[in-house]
Structure formats: structure tokens, C-alpha cells
Structure 1
Amino acid sequence: MRAFIRGSYPLVPSVLFAVCWAYGVTGLFALTGPPAGPWRPSPWTAVAALTIALDMLLMRIIDDIRDLPYDRVHNPHRPLATGAVTGSSLLRWYAGIAALLVLLNLFDAWAALVVAAQLAYALLLLLPGPDPGRLVLTLVLSSPVQLLLHLYLYTVLLHTTGGGFDPSFWTALAVVSLATLHLEVAKKITRAPRPGERTYVTTFGLPATVAVALLSATGSALLLAPWGSALTLLPLAFPAVAWWRFRRAERWDARLALLFVLASFATWALIAAGGTS
């Protein structure tokens, strides 16, 4: 597992992303939900952050096993591709950590149930299916993995506040889904795909792919604008700079796509904690 983490799950940035995800999306749900004053993270929010961090490690295991033939060609340094680890050993780790995550969330039956469902669904992605190179279909099939994690964060928030389900959940879900869609699409944008490279450019063409990346980021910010005024628009600086640089570059700067998502998470948490909804 140490070899796998070193090669496929860089610990510091991965944990940072998980913490920002947990606090940011929980803040987003609080921000768009029924007004109840400023949102304050609870100890259960920290449990959720730990859950997301470990869950992301498990999703990396699923992705690396599923993408092994592709990685042998395009990412030969990955631990599974080099033979430093085996798929069977990773799946044993998956089972153990999955059991730990369910136990960790038994403080709320619904939270534990959603985590268990998400982990079980992720395993189904290892079954024979469509060609992983069909990115749109692969994205549709794998999207429940992320959606269930968002639902998990919502159940933890409801456990903390004692509230019930509110239709505002769907607005928040649209906001975060558009933000993460930007990352998914933008990080794969290139003017000249290498043979066999997986990029939405080969499906939609370059102009349409760039448009999807920019519109998803913009839509996420604008959809939330009624709750955060101009503050929600600040993360759009990252896709704007990335687009400007891409005009003279071969590839979209994936780091700026990641920074857009991280900045969005941070903005949502800060606005919710400030009670500006």
C-alpha cells in the first residue's frame, strides 16, 4: 500500500483535496438550505473529511485496476503498471478499508448506508463493460460514485443539524456537479491528442470541449450567485487564466482546473461560515 500511495495517491495534495471537498460541499449544502444562521463545522464534519480521504484512496484503486491496460502504455510509472503491487492485494486493502469506513460512520445509519452503497457500486465498475475510451459513457456510468459521496455529506449535515431533506439539495448538487465537470473535461483538453489518448476532444472536437469546460465552470458560479453575490464568481479567475494561456499552448493547464475546484470549495465554506446566505 505504501508503494501504491507513493505512485498513485500523493498523500498531501490528495488529503488536502479531500478536506476541502468535505468542508466545502457541506458548507454549500448549508448555504443553499433553509436559513439557520452561519454554518459551523462539527466533529462529524471532520469524520466526513477522513471518510472522503480514505474513500478517494479506494476510488484510486478502482481506477487503476480498471485502467491497467491504458496505464501500461500511457502511464507506465503507475505502481500497478510496473508490477510493484497487484490487483488482488489492492482489492484486499479495498475490502478492509471499506469495512472501516462503514464502521466509522455508524454514528448515523443513513450515512453508513450511503457509504456502503457507494463502495459497492464502485466495485461494479470493475465488471466488463463498454470501452473505457468512450469517455462520455464512462463518465455517465461512474458519476453515481461522486453523487453518492455528495449525498453522504448531506446526510452528515442533516445528522449535525437535526434537519430533514430539503429540495435545495438539488440546487447544491447541480452547483458542485458543474464545478467538478469542469475539472473532468478541462484536464484532458489538448490540441493534438496522442494516439490512443483519452480526451473529450476526440469526441466533441476542440472548440466544443473548451466551451463545455468554460460553461460548466461559469454555470456553477452563476447558479450559486444568489447566495454569495460576487464572491461566488472569484474562482472563475482560474478557468479564465487557463483559457488565455491555452490560446498559445498545446494543453490546458490541468493545475488551474484543479485550483478552480479547490477555490470553489473554499469559497462555499467561507460564505456559509460567514452567514451571508
Structure 2
Amino acid sequence: MIARIGRYVAGSYPPIMSVLFAMAWTYGVSGLFAVVDHQGPSHWRPNMGTALSAITLMLDLLLMRVIDDIRDLEYDRVHDPKRPLVRGVVRISDLAVLYAVLSAIIVVLNWKHAGLGIIAGQLVYALIVLFVYQRFRWPNGDNLLLTLLVSCPAQLLVHGYLYAGYLQAAGHSADAYGFLAIAIVFIATIHLEAAKKIVRIPRPGERTYVNIFGLDGTVRIAMLCPFVSVALLLVGAASPWSVARLLLVLAPLALPLVAFREFRRPNERWPAKYAALYVLSAFGAFACTGAFAGGLGGGR
């Protein structure tokens, strides 16, 4: 079983990119909380608590991948037959064991973390979503908007877990600006969700927002989200913007623009690598801006 799970992880959750993404997400969102923290001077720096949150997120994102692979099994048999679960690399029973073991590890690791209840609730919520789908086939995976709506709480709970950790280190209570930070990062990730599914002519049965909003509408949504995210950040930041900090948060916007240019050449599909790189670079910018808020000419 261990060998099967290892092959599954290698094929469905590529370790290097997945670890990089989890670390960027953790450090980026934590830094973002510092950028919009209006309750006092932010002295946030990555510490052991941030590292614990990053490890937690690495494990958690793997478990969310497990949930998605089980839920999308029938769809992947037709549209993505190379996926490990479809090829029989691993059994669903193996993934159930993996989910139980890693969930227990997450709980133990976070026993003294302020966000323990939040991350535990997220793991339970994901199981409930899977159970409802397996039992009632709801929501239908072809209904992308409803599926996205049902999936959103899992991502928001992850952000809530990170916010609880930030507040624990900062020593103060939550406020509206913390929730603004969650909105900023959520809107930024919508770019990835929309862009990776953009295709000029969808195959029969293919799940893409192009079937809902049309090609032009989906492209507009994908292109608008990064700029709305940055605009909210510029307005919500607690410190004045120095040139260096401003360039940090604006630089990732070049990636959606490059992707848009390539798609217009035209290409059949949106170059999804740019969407992933945008999210990674945006998280990196959030982390740097938060860590050096007082050291790049924007201190309070």
C-alpha cells in the first residue's frame, strides 16, 4: 500500500511544485495579513509558527487533491485517463487510509495552534462534501459554478487557519482588514481557477467556464481578478507605499498580460503555466511586502 500511495503522490501531487506552492501560499498569505494590519506596527517575520503552518498546508493540499481525485474519477476516465487513480495506480481504500493518517498528523502538529479547530473543521467539511457527492451525486460536476461555491468554504477555512496563526503571533484580535486580506488572495486565485480552463472550442463534455460565460467573458474574468486583487491591496494596506513595495506587488501582473498575448496568437488553450506562476509570484510578493513593510521605505 505504501508503494501505491507513493506512486499516486508522485503522479497526482508532484512533490517539488506542490511543496513550493504550499510554502508560497503560507508565507504569502501570512505576509498579506501583516500588510493590511491596522492594529499596530507590523513586525511580522517568518518564524517556526509559519513553518508549522506551511507543513500543515502541504499535507492539507494533498488531502484536498485526494478528495478531488475521488470525486472526479468518472470525469477523468473520459477526459484525463492518465491520472493515477484512473490508471489504477492506487485504490480508493488506500486513499482513505492516507486521509485518516495525515488528518491525525495535522491535528497533532497543530495541537497548540490557535487555528486547530478551523483546520480540523476544513478536513471534516471536505469529507462531508465527498460523502454527499458519492451518495447523491450533488453537486453535479458539470455545474462548475455550484461546484465552485460548494468548494469555496474549504479554501476559506485554510485562510482562516492562517489568519488564526497570524493573530496568535501578533497578539491581537481579528478585524475587518484581516478578512479583506482573505478576499484579496481569494480573488487572486480565481484567476488560476478560470484561466486553466480557458479553451477556444471545448470538447464535448469538457468542464470549462467558457460554456457558462463564453470565451470573451471567461477571459475578462481571468484578466480582471489579478488587477482587482492588487487594487484592494493598494487601498487596504496599513503603511504608505514606497516605490520598492509598489513594484513588488505590481510585478506579478505582467504574467497574465503575457499569457493573454500568447492566447491571442491564437493558441487553442490558455497557457496555464502563466496562471500558476502568477499565483506563486503574487504570494511571493505578499510575503516580501509583509516581511519588509518597515524596511523598504514604507515603515510606520
By the TM > 0.5 criterion, same fold?
A: yes
Quick one: which amino acid aligns to residue 33 of structure 1?
D
Residues 89-104 of structure 1 correspond to what in structure 2 (within 5 A)?
89-104=94-109
- 3-state SS of paired residue (1:81): coil
Residue of structure 2 in register with 1:253 after alignment: 271
Residue of structure 2 in register with 1:214 after alignment: 223
* Number of residues of Structure 1 aligned to a counterpart in Structure 2: 276
Quick one: which amino acid aligns to residue 253 of structure 1?
P
Q: Residue 203 in 1 paired to residue 221 in 2?
A: no
Residues 1-277 of structure 1 correspond to what in structure 2 (within 5 A)?
1-34=5-38, 35-108=40-113, 110-126=114-130, 127-128=132-133, 129-226=138-235, 227=237, 228-247=245-264, 248-275=266-293, 276=298
Q: Residue by residue, what CA displacement relative to the aligned partner does 1:157-184 show, whole Å, maximum 9, x if unpaired?
A: 1111212112101210111011000000
- 3-state SS of paired residue (2:248): helix
Quick one: which amino acid aligns to residue 223 of structure 1?
L
Structure 2 residue runs of 5 or longer lacking an equivalent are: 238-244
What do you get for the CA RMSD once the two structures are aligned? 1.2
Q: Residue by residue, what CA displacement relative to the aligned partner does 1:6-33 show, whole Å, maximum 9, x if unpaired?
A: 1100000000000000000000011101
Return structure 1 stretches of 4+ with deviation > 2 angstroms: 226-231
Residue of structure 1 in register with 2:240 after alignment: none
Quick one: which amino acid aligns to residue 81 of structure 1?
V
Quick one: which amino acid aligns to residue 283 of structure 2?
F
Please give the alpha-carbon distance, in whole angstroms, between the structure 2 residues aligned to 1:145 and 1:84: 27
Please give the alpha-carbon distance, in whole angstroms, between the structure 2 residues aligned to 1:252 and 1:105: 39
Please give the alpha-carbon distance, in whole angstroms, between the structure 1 residues aligned to 2:48 and 2:20: 17
Deviating more after overlay: 80-89 vs 8-17: 80-89
Please give the alpha-carbon distance, in whole angstroms, between the structure 1 residues aligned to 2:60 and 2:255: 27
Please give the alpha-carbon distance, in whole angstroms, between the structure 2 residues aligned to 1:58 and 1:51: 11
| 1:38 CA displacement | 3.8
Structure 1 residue runs of 5 or longer lacking an equivalent are: none
| 1:230 CA displacement | 4.1
Length-normalised TM-score, structure 1: 0.97
| 1:235 CA displacement | 0.8
Please give the alpha-carbon distance, in whole angstroms, between the structure 2 residues aligned to 1:202 and 1:270: 38
Length-normalised TM-score, structure 2: 0.89
Please give the alpha-carbon distance, in whole angstroms, between the structure 2 residues aligned to 1:273 and 1:44: 15
Please give the alpha-carbon distance, in whole angstroms, between the structure 2 residues aligned to 1:238 and 1:15: 21
Contact 2:200 2:215 in 1 (8 A): yes
Deviating more after overlay: 254-263 vs 70-79: 70-79
Contact 1:27 1:268 in 2 (8 A): yes
Please give the alpha-carbon distance, in whole angstroms, between the structure 1 residues aligned to 2:262 and 2:83: 29
Please give the alpha-carbon distance, in whole angstroms, between the structure 2 residues aligned to 1:210 and 1:256: 14
Contact 1:25 1:269 in 2 (8 A): yes
| Percent identity for Structure 1 against Structure 2 | 48
| 1:112 CA displacement | 1.0
Please give the alpha-carbon distance, in whole angstroms, between the structure 1 residues aligned to 2:248 and 2:48: 27
